[in-house]
Structure 1
Amino acid sequence: MYPDDFFESIGIKLPQKPWSIHMQWSTTQPMNWVIERNSLRPEDLLLTLSINDRHWQVSLERRDEVFYAQWGTYGFRVDSQQLKYRRFIKWPAIESPENIIAFITELESLLSVRFVKHINLQGTLSDSIEKPQLLADFLKVRTDDFGVFS
């Protein structure tokens, strides 16, 4: 799936110019990753879905850097010093950004965590979405659950 197809499938019109958007979920309040980093616990996770006019990727990082996993247009990879994360965990697959909610549910089950229902939006597209409710409905959150950082 091309990145444009994802937004068109949920009814969001894209600008003609190059664009990008980054959506972040966390196991703690996402703002902690921005301004309260010292309040993060070692096991806290940050999941980022990055989409631009050419490709997409999902990254999952742990605060203590025990692992970093990445999925997207160019495949899957996991970096870790621990064999557990490189070889023994059966990481879920994600074929397109359209599957992000099911993917998050799989990660929550696999890693025994819960992601907070608050999403940070960043990038050139984040403040130009004319109908944010369409994106909120797709992501199963309220528009009040968005934090926007241009």
Structure 2
Amino acid sequence: MPEEISPSAVAQWFALFDLGALPHDSTFSFVLSNDPIEHWFYKRNKLRPESLKLELLVPCTGHWRVQLERNDNLYLAQWRPNDDLRIDSEQLRYRKLVKWPRLASLMDFPQLIEQLEKSLDVRFLPHANIGARGVEPETLASNPHLRRWLAPCAQSFGWNWKVQSL
């Protein structure tokens, strides 16, 4: 069943973390990579052509997006509500031949990482960098419910490039 694009879908997702009501005008982001996350922010010269950054962006409006970008711009993949998958690449291999996993729901994000690792033959580091507006990133990083939700893909969490292990 397609996920409704509405603030209520994001509010239901946020409610899983038992943090109270979804803050008005809030946005959340979770970034994973196959290289140390700080390389994407201030050590870009250490990135390899095949370096990947995967970001889940969740605004309170309901229009969440997952974006996978490769450092050499070989492809850009986006997943949006209602099983909307978009692949941008000049190579036919990435547009048509790669079996890209589907993402029907925001709730399934943690499983997407494992599926991408199989499809693209890559390994993401088990670390998620958390960004937030409306809630302190530290509050999210220490939240046991959020940690449980992200457990399939992350065992450590950071904000502003600080790492906090489980």
Question: Counterpart in 1 of 2:164?
Answer: none
User: How many aligned positions are there?
Assistant: 147
Q: Which amino acid aligns with 1:96?
A: S
2: CA distance between counterparts of 1:123 and 1:102? 22
In the alignment, structure 1 residue 119 sits paired with structure 2 residue 128: yes
Per-residue Cα deviation, 1:35-78 (whole angstroms, up to 9, x for no partner): 11000000011000000111211000000000000001262211
Per-residue Cα deviation, 1:106-146 (whole angstroms, up to 9, x for no partner): 0001111111111111130451646522211210144xx22
The equivalent position to 2:92 in structure 1, one of 83, 95, 103, is 83
User: Could you say which structure has the greater relative contact order, defined with CA pairs below 8 angstroms and 6 or more residues apart?
Assistant: 1
Once the 2 structures are TM-superposed, how far is the Cα of residue 24 of structure 1 from its aligned partner? 0.3
In the alignment, structure 1 residue 38 sits paired with structure 2 residue 45: yes
1: CA distance between counterparts of 2:19 and 2:80? 21
Q: Which amino acid aligns with 2:64?
A: W
Once the 2 structures are TM-superposed, how far is the Cα of residue 84 of structure 1 from its aligned partner? 0.5
Structure 1: give runs of 5+ residues left out of the alignment.
none
- SS in structure 1 of the partner of residue 133 of structure 2: coil
Question: Counterpart in 1 of 2:101?
Answer: 92
Q: Which amino acid aligns with 1:35?
A: Y
Question: Counterpart in 2 of 1:56?
Answer: 64
In the alignment, structure 1 residue 20 sits paired with structure 2 residue 53: no
Runs of 4+ aligned residues of structure 1 deviating over 6 Å after TM superposition are none
Per-residue Cα deviation, 1:69-104 (whole angstroms, up to 9, x for no partner): 000126221110101011111211101221111111
1: CA distance between counterparts of 2:135 and 2:129? 9
Once the 2 structures are TM-superposed, how far is the Cα of residue 14 of structure 1 from its aligned partner? 3.7
Q: Which amino acid aligns with 1:63?
A: N
Structure 2: give runs of 5+ residues left out of the alignment.
4-8, 161-166
The normalised TM-score by structure 2 is: 0.81
